[in-house]
Amino acid sequence: MVISKELKRAREYEAEKGALVKDEERAVYHLSPRIGWLNDPNGFSFYNGKYHLFYQYHPYNTFWGPMHWGHVVSDDLISWEYLPATMAPDTDYDGAGCFSGSAITLDDGRQLLIYTGCSKVDLDEAGRWAQTQCVAVSSETEVGTTEYVKYEGNPVITSDHLPEGGDIYEFRDPFIWRASDGTFRAVVANANTSEGKATQLCIYKSPDGFKWEFAKVLFEDWRHIGVMWECPNFFPLGGRQILIASPMDMETEEADGSIRFPKGNNVVYMVGDYDEATETFTLARAASHEKSGQGALATYHPVDCGLDFYAPQVMETPDGRRVMIGWMQDPSIGNLHNDDDFNIFCQMTVPRELTLRNDRLIQWPVRELESYRDGNMVFASVELDDNERSLEGISGRVLDLEIELEPKDGAELYKSFSMKFASGCEDLYTELRYIPERSILTIDRSNSGQPDNYTKRRSIRVRNRGGALSLRILLDRWSAEVFINGGEQVMSTTFYTPLAADGITFSADGSAAIDITKYTITGK
């Protein structure tokens, strides 16, 4: 089987340079690129007995560049094996980049990838690439490996398939699924040039995954939630239908004294019901909306309330779980690493199991992570005051921490709680702060040693439990994922403090107590 010179070059480069990446450059249990730059997760799926994850990839630099598709496989969603790059930008229709997409298994057992091709020859006056939807299909080689062959009929969804006002230069990120009759559907993000309208999600249908036609506009927005909804996901969960999207250029939205959405790029979810017969999505408990008729949109919520999370993708496991993985990076920020010797940049979150409780999304690290725990250390009823306190054995940069915070019995409600981690080197640290009277939790990396031109902190309101707070914190060298009150909310952040900063301290303004269980995480 012949592969293009562009793909051959990428594979030779990643094989040579990937071998030079030092162990300390990588997170231990979060996926990083084989070499170079990583962004959106793509094609997250289970196929031929393995979990597959493809990802947006620029192998030649640690900054964003022409998008390839990297490829990894796993038995357990935690340990990933690098395979050769799957796609390179090597045709007229995708020569400027192979953008995001998804995967599905065909009736004949082959895996189909559907993705956005950015044309290197069709540009508008502003230099934007025309974007169309393309497919590639798995094919077994004579030596027993799998290649993904781009369909000779690409692109399969073009400007001819757009609704009125649709913008071919902002048309991307197909998410594919099977309808109950076995035919295929895909929802694709699209900007709309009609007056007053910002963005829409379009449904396309196909009998076989190769021949597509426009079905309808699934959802549209009149400049209420950003200007373009990237990377949509659309799937059933807990008897409802969930829509997840990544709006670009949102305006700041405050609620209850905290920032519900910061200015910039965010990820939102909406809960509703889906009528497959009419392909209609109706928001749960939505009031009348004057313009779009889609509901008051008070029912959209943040997926992750931290500083670094974007473009997630959701798949269904063989045992029926819905699992989500996201790009742990603010897309408005480039490489922030303070060490020029690093050969890789960016990482994924730990995959998260999704459930629905009272129409709210609950997220929790996949249960497979627990098999990577290597022993535990427990501290019970540790009393805190305004003196920063460290505990023997509670330190490091690769940990799984469970913390239960409560007011001290008989004492006045404490005013604040603080946990500092990745600390102790040149006064650097990242901090979690909780103010129980207002139920405000803040993640703050302003002292982590990063440049000034990036978002440093975010505060959210959590459920008021009378000063009690439950946290599970996944630390992995360059990042933290904080799961709050059993996964009701999540805050993810990256920081590039030197690894020598491995201290962890606790303090409180007032009297409080914590229970701590610490697990060390090891790779396999």
Res 294: pLDDT: 39
Q: Please check the confidence at residue 8 and state whether its pLDDT lies above 90.
A: yes
Select from 473, 462, 376, 386 the least CA-distant residue to 422: 473
Average pLDDT over residues 493-520: 96
Which position among 40, 94, 444, 502 bears the catalytic label?
A: 40
**CA separation for the pair 198, 170 (Å, rounded):** 11
Tens of pLDDT, residue by residue over 11-59, are: 999 999 999 999 999 999 999 999 999 999 999 999 999 999 999 999 9
Low-confidence winner among 84-88, 207-211, 292-296, 513-517 (lowest mean pLDDT)? 292-296
Q: Are 74 and 96 in contact (CB under 8 A)?
A: no
What mean pLDDT comes out for the span 265-291? 81
Q: What does the block give as tokens for 458?
A: 């975010």
One-letter amino acid of 174: P
Inform me whether the pLDDT recorded for 241 exceeds 90: yes
Can you name the CATH fold of 99-365? Tachylectin-2; Chain A (2.115.10)
Asked if residue 266 lies in contact with residue 247, where contact means CB atoms within 8 angstroms, the answer is: yes
Mean of the per-residue pLDDT values of the chain? 92
Strand, helix or coil for residue 5: helix
Confidence class of residue 335 from pLDDT cuts 50, 70 and 90? Answer: low
The SS3 of residue 18 is helix
According to the model, what pLDDT value does residue 126 have? 85
The pLDDT value given to residue 342: 87
Give the residue, 523 or 459, on which the prediction is more confident.
459
d(CA 421, CA 504): 4
**Of 151, 25, 21, 31, the residue nearest 82 (C-alpha):** 31
pLDDT of residue 287: 39
Compute the C-alpha angle 343/347/353, nearest 5°: 160
Best CA proximity match to 102, nearest among 143, 69, 77: 69
Which of 504, 499, 500 is CA-nearest to residue 518? 504
Average pLDDT in the 327-335 region? 83
**Cα 296 from chain centroid (whole Å):** 26
Among the CATH numbers 2.60.120.560, 3.10.580.10, 1.10.287.130, 3.20.20.100, which is that of 369-521? 2.60.120.560
119-123, 196-200, 316-320, 429-433: the lowest-pLDDT one: 196-200
DSSP bridge partners of 233:
244
Residue 476's beta-bridge partner residues? 398
| Mean pLDDT lowest among 26-35, 146-155, 313-322, 515-524 | 515-524
pLDDT of 226 over the 60 cut:
yes
pLDDT at 319: 97
Q: How confident is the model at residue 452 (pLDDT cuts 50, 70, 90)?
A: low
Distance CA 117, CA 97 (A): 6
Question: Model confidence over 72-121: pLDDT tens digits?
Answer: 999 999 999 999 999 999 999 999 999 999 999 999 999 999 999 999 88
Residue type, position 110, single letter: R
pLDDT (0 to 100) of residue 262: 85
> Is 386 known to be catalytic?
no
Q: Is-same-fold flag (99-365; 369-521)?
A: no
Average pLDDT over residues 310-325: 98
- Flag whether pLDDT at 247 surpasses 70: yes
Residue in the structure block whose two tokens are 């004057």: 290
Higher pLDDT among residues 408 and 274, named by residue: 274
Per-residue confidence band for 299, with pLDDT thresholds at 50, 70 and 90: confident
pLDDT band at 167 (very low <50, low <70, confident <90, very high): very high
pLDDT at 123 over 90: no
pLDDT band for position 341 (cuts 50, 70, 90): confident
- Residue that has been written with the tokens 């540009």 in this structure: 123
In this model, does residue 298 exceed pLDDT 70?
A: no
The closest of 27, 31, 85, 80 to 348, measured between CA atoms, is 31
pLDDT, position 295: 40
Mean pLDDT of 155-179: 96
CA distance linking residue 36 with residue 14, whole number of Å: 9
Instruction: Single out the residue of 482, 495, 402, 483 nearest to residue 448, CA to CA.
Output: 495
Read off the pLDDT of each residue in 245-264 and give the average, rounded to a whole number.
84
Of the candidates 68, 159, 150, the one whose C-alpha atom is nearest the C-alpha of residue 122 is 159
Q: Any idea which of 78-82, 142-146, 262-266, 379-383 has the lowest mean pLDDT?
A: 142-146
Given a cut of 50, is residue 434 above it in pLDDT? yes
> What one-character DSSP code corresponds to residue 62?
S
| Cα separation, 524 vs 522, whole angstroms | 7
Average of per-residue pLDDT across 451-464: 85
Ordered strands of the 322-327 beta sheet = 310-316, 322-327, 352-357, 360-365
Task: At 376, list the tokens.
Answer: 């535990």
pLDDT, average across residues 423-427? 89
Q: Which runs of E-coded beta strand occur in 142-222?
A: 146-150, 166-178, 184-192, 199-206, 213-221
pLDDT class of 490 with cuts at 50, 70, 90: very high
Q: Measured between alpha carbons, how far is residue 98 from residues 93, 117, 254, 344, 347 in Å?
A: 9, 5, 36, 20, 19
**d(C-alpha 81, C-alpha 78), whole Å:** 10
Q: Which band of pLDDT confidence, cut at 50, 70 and 90, is reported for residue 336?
A: low
Which residues partner with 138 through β-bridges?
148
Average pLDDT rounded to a whole number, residues 343-352:
96
Beta strand 416-425 with 213-221 is: unpaired
Write down the domain spans for the chain.
99-365, 369-521
At 375 the pLDDT is 86
Q: What is the mean pLDDT of residues 223-238?
A: 91
* Distance from C-alpha of 66 to C-alpha of 177, rounded to nearest angstrom: 27
